[in-house]
Structure 1
Amino acid sequence: MNYEAKMFGRQERLEFTGEPGARSNRRWIWIGIVAIVVIGALTFYLLSRGGDAAGKGESAKSEGKGQSQVPTVTVVSPGRSTVQTIVSGTGTLAARREMPVGVAGEGGMVTRVLVEPGSWVGAGQVLATVDRSVQSQTAQSLGASVRVAQADARLAQSELDRAQRLVANGFISKADIERKTAARDQAAARVRVAQAQASETNARNRRLDIRAPAAGLVLTRQVEPGQIVSSGSGVLFRLAQGGQMELRTQLAESDIQKLHAGVQAEVTPTGSTKVFKGQVWQVSPIIDPQSRQGIARVALSYDPALRPGGFASARIIAGGITAVILPQSAIQSDAQGNYVFTINARNEAVRTPVTTGEVSESGVAITSGLTGAERIVLTAGAFLNPGQKVIPTPQKPN
């Protein structure tokens, strides 16, 4: 193409063939088109990958949400175990057989006290003596009377013997023999009377000594030398027969029904951690109508730590049962009664009615409704519904 132009008064002829400039423009155009195509392809690729990832995320989120709706519960298969029935109570320590000792005779002034509280004494042992100076003189006088009566009796017997030898010769009549026989019998009777009086006085004198009625432990002493005592002076000593002790514990009427003589018990005095073994030897045959309680008496062997009048607690083993033991958290209750949730083979919650028994430190005994082999929900049973799917997790051992 030829053009003509007029510049600065001159006329010039320009000729454009277009070949070098056209090739350069076309090259840049193609570079731009390729760049646009590459950018578009890359954008499309990124957008498609983002959509797939979003779709997968939504799917995973949906699956996680469905999975999170199934609750996880802790389960246990407890089996069966033997549970002891424990009756707990408190009470007072005392001597099992307490013996109050006082003045048995006429009394007088105490001259000596031979024992102290805590002393062990034998049966008949003298605990204290009472002045007997006057009584001793009386005893000696009666002893002399016995000897006089015995002498008279020997004389009467001798006279009767001589008379019986002479009666055959006719020197003594039968009437004389009878009189001498009667005199001999009277003398013998006077001997027996004198001896009885002397024995009575000696017995009274022996009763002036205050003696232990049986072997045991002296608990209290309430007499001192120089004290005037009599049968009205009351208790001077208290003894525990054989040193045997007991705990007298008051129990509710329902607990008393579970006990019988011979069951074992553990007694712990207040302020001590030492446990003493014993056994119930008597259960009260009556119930107090006011307090609705009865008394169980637990026999204990002697120990210095068991002080009569002290306070102590007792755990009485009333018996035992073999049953399924569950914590209180596993047991639910409604208008239909007590129940637990068990998990079946399809991991579904099943409402299982149960009958509860004794409640102890180990848990609640289930007397019927379970065998112990089931998978039982320990907690969160109140939030489950029958037939609900769960994820069971066995309880971790302690």
Structure 2
Amino acid sequence: MNYEAGMLGRSERLEYVGEETRGRRRWLWIIGGLVVLALIAAAFMMRGGSQPPAGDAAKGGAAKKDNSQLPTVTYAIPGSSDVATVITGTGSLAARREMPVGVAGEGGMVTRVLVEPGQWVQAGQVLATVDRSVQVQTADSLAAQIRAARADAALAQAELERAQALLGRGFVSKADIDRKTATRDAANARVRIAEAQLRETQARNRRLDIRAPAAGLVLTRSVEPGQIISSGSGVLFRMAQGGQMELRAQLAESDLQRVRIGTRAQVTPVGGEQTFSGEVWQVSPVIDPQTRQGIARVALTYNPALRPGGFASVQIVSGGQRAPQLPQSAVQSDEKGNFVYILDKDDKAVRQSVTTGDVSEKGVVITSGLQGNERVVLTAGAFLNAGQKVKPVQQKKQ
């Protein structure tokens, strides 16, 4: 009995100690929580009222998060500048005044060819000679006939003078004087006829030489020594008068209306990088009904790189205008036409339809649709939608 009572007493004491320990722990947790709350309150009091209300802080965080998700675009204010109106086209190079040279006389066998393509010649210079052995003999015969006719004329003149001296003495009659006068006149006429025949033969002989009609550049040669030529042989040489060249540019009907005589032009032969300056000297008065194109002829000074028959491109500066100019990346296109995106005061993208003009290395000319003071999106325009809010970044000036 005493043993059982002792065990019960001991158990009661252990339960009392456990309850006391748990109570102390609870008080420790309560005190620690109060300390933490006091520290938080102290920190808040130290910061004062600088923190916005909880609602405003939430709104600011949301706005900051939204701005970070907006697409960034680069924009520029293009303004207006003087832009030259440039008309482009292509065409063939040719001699401005091409001179075909052929047989002017009766022809014959070619004995010598004195020039080659690419050579410069003077007016009247011999290009080729034709055999004239027969014609020379004919000219010699006529020269001999002239000498004989002059001798007859001199004899007739002397006889007339003697007869006139005897007329006063009564040895000859007036009729004899008239006959001798007629004989003298006939002899003089035969002299003139023979001289004319000789000059004609000499002129024909000179025409046996193929000569340059004017100073210029020999372009082609289609005759060789030993070749038999005649008036039906066609063109033997082709020349460029003065070496002047031209580009016969094929232009659309609308472009041809804007071209004027004297307009400056830049010509670049195909396969080369060198550009030649010229000016329009003739505009075609007719339009090809099949291609709806016309020809503008651009005069060029001689240069070995300008070869007739070659192909070249041309840029004709037909005038100027003040207009905005944008890089090609800023101009978009769809089924409704060309357009750009501009930014309104709220940084939202607004579609603006535009009309484009000439395209060059400097960009695209906007002929209508922009004033030049708008904020125009330069990049990322293809990924925008009308009304979409963006984060704008102005392009740095170069």
Q: State the TM-score bracket (shorter-chain normalisation).
A: 0.7 to 0.9
1:46-78: CA deviations, max 9, x gaps? 9999xx998787444323245458765433222
1:333-377: CA deviations, max 9, x gaps? 899987655556676767767654444443333345544344334
Q: Which residue of 2 aligns with 1:228?
A: 228
Q: Which residue of 1 aligns with 2:10?
A: none
1:222-275: CA deviations, max 9, x gaps? 222222221122222222222222222222212222222222222222222222
The TM-score, its normalising length taken from structure 1, stands at: 0.80
8 Å contact kept, 2:96–2:241: yes
Max radius of gyration: which structure?
1
Residue 288 of structure 1 and its aligned partner are, at CA, apart by 0.8
Pair 1:159 & 2:159 matched = yes
1:209-233: CA deviations, max 9, x gaps? 1111111222222222222221122
The 3-state SS of whatever aligns with 1:199 is: helix
Q: Which residue of 2 aligns with 1:176?
A: 176
Inter-partner Cα distance in structure 1 for 2:395 and 2:103: 72
Inter-partner Cα distance in structure 2 for 1:154 and 1:384: 112
* Structure 2 CA distance for partners of 1:391 and 1:33, relative to 1, 3 Å: closer
Residue 318 of structure 1 and its aligned partner are, at CA, apart by 2.4
Aligned partner of 2:386: which letter?
Answer: L
* Structure 2 CA distance for partners of 1:227 and 1:63, relative to 1, 3 Å: closer
8 Å contact kept, 2:351–2:386: no
Instruction: Output aligned runs, 1:39-54, within 5 Å.
Output: 39-41=32-34
Q: Which residue of 2 aligns with 1:13?
A: none
The 3-state SS of whatever aligns with 2:324 is: strand
Inter-partner Cα distance in structure 2 for 1:173 and 1:275: 91
Q: Which residue of 2 aligns with 1:285?
A: 285
* Structure 2 CA distance for partners of 1:181 and 1:32, relative to 1, 3 Å: same
Inter-partner Cα distance in structure 1 for 2:334 and 2:237: 63
* Structure 2 CA distance for partners of 1:238 and 1:323, relative to 1, 3 Å: same
Instruction: Output aligned runs, 1:202-351, within 5 Å.
Output: 202-328=202-328, 330=330, 342-343=342-343
Q: Which residue of 2 aligns with 1:37?
A: 30
Residue 180 of structure 1 and its aligned partner are, at CA, apart by 2.6
Question: What percent of counterpart residues are identical?
Answer: 63
Q: Which residue of 1 aligns with 2:11?
A: none
The 3-state SS of whatever aligns with 1:383 is: coil
* Structure 2 CA distance for partners of 1:344 and 1:57, relative to 1, 3 Å: closer
Inter-partner Cα distance in structure 1 for 2:112 and 2:122: 18
8 Å contact kept, 2:350–2:386: no
1:130-164: CA deviations, max 9, x gaps? 11111111100001111111222222223333333
Query: Gapped runs of 5+ residues in structure 1?
Result: 1-5, 9-21
Q: Which residue of 2 aligns with 1:11?
A: none
Pair 1:397 & 2:397 matched = yes
Instruction: Output aligned runs, 1:28-177, within 5 Å.
Output: 31-32=24-25, 34-41=27-34, 58-65=58-65, 67=67, 73-177=73-177
Residue 316 of structure 1 and its aligned partner are, at CA, apart by 2.3
Inter-partner Cα distance in structure 2 for 1:290 and 1:25: 115
Aligned partner of 1:155: which letter?
Answer: L
Inter-partner Cα distance in structure 2 for 1:29 and 1:132: 148
Residue 165 of structure 1 and its aligned partner are, at CA, apart by 3.7
The 3-state SS of whatever aligns with 2:213 is: coil
Inter-partner Cα distance in structure 2 for 1:366 and 1:378: 14
Residue 332 of structure 1 and its aligned partner are, at CA, apart by 6.7
* Structure 2 CA distance for partners of 1:68 and 1:368, relative to 1, 3 Å: same
Residue 290 of structure 1 and its aligned partner are, at CA, apart by 0.8
* Structure 2 CA distance for partners of 1:272 and 1:352, relative to 1, 3 Å: closer
Indicate the RMSD between aligned Cα atoms, in angstroms. Answer: 3.8
Inter-partner Cα distance in structure 1 for 2:237 and 2:333: 60
Inter-partner Cα distance in structure 2 for 1:360 and 1:338: 17
Query: Gapped runs of 5+ residues in structure 2?
Result: 4-15, 44-51
Inter-partner Cα distance in structure 2 for 1:77 and 1:141: 93
* Structure 2 CA distance for partners of 1:67 and 1:166, relative to 1, 3 Å: same
Q: Which residue of 1 aligns with 2:12?
A: none
The correspondence for 1:383, drawn from 382, 385, 390, is 385
* Structure 2 CA distance for partners of 1:352 and 1:221, relative to 1, 3 Å: closer
Inter-partner Cα distance in structure 2 for 1:115 and 1:26: 134
The TM-score, its normalising length taken from structure 2, stands at: 0.80
Inter-partner Cα distance in structure 1 for 2:27 and 2:192: 159
Aligned partner of 1:38: which letter?
Answer: I
